[in-house]
Chain A
């Protein structure tokens, strides 16, 4: 039952943010950011376990680990850019958030180039 402390933590943090926002909106912003980061850091232990399990399964199945590594990096970039964009959006800077998301998409596309090339090559190999 690891969800109970997370939920309680989130509710307590939200109440604190509500109180502090009346007088000091800038510190309330930082507090909500800190609460989000604490929850995410807590959950990342489990994420690491899942990543390890998936890697083991892929190695057992004889899958190409290069593509798996690319997949994990893409997930990491997507997560990071989403995180930063949400922080910016919370602070009322929707345009900066949009740019961060755009940068994330572009970087993911660049990272995925080897996969796209591999797919195209295999399709060309099927053709007579």
Chain B
């Protein structure tokens, strides 16, 4: 079983997406574009969800391999 590395880049990526989207959201709200801000939030959540889903699938595969489930 190969040692896995601690994937810090993923956390920075997600945190960056979160900060980026909240800043863009503030800008869009200031410009009076409420619908676009809503859509942006949705897209950000979906992107982060895709990242996290890959990670969780990785984890489940790991568990399946280790415990012969």
Contacts and interface: CB of A to CB of B under 8 A. Distances in A.
Interface of A: 5-6, 9, 12-13, 16, 19-20, 23-24, 26-28, 30-31, 33-35, 37-42, 44-45, 47-49, 51-52, 69, 72-73, 75-77, 79-80, 83
Contact of A45 (B3, B7, B15, B26): B3
A31 B5 contact: no
A41 B10 contact: no
Interface residues of B, number: 39
A101 B51 CA distance: 26
Given A20-B18, A44-B66, A34 B6 contact: no
Contact of A42 (B4, B21, B48): B4
Contacts of A51: 66-67
A27 B62 contact: no
Interface in B14-69: 14-15, 17-19, 21-22, 25-26, 41, 44-45, 48-49, 51-52, 55-56, 58-60, 62-69
A103 B38 CA distance: 37
B67 A72 contact: yes
A23 B62 contact: no
A5 to B, nearest CB: 5
Contacts of A42: 4-7
A40 B62 CA distance: 10
A72 B41 CA distance: 42
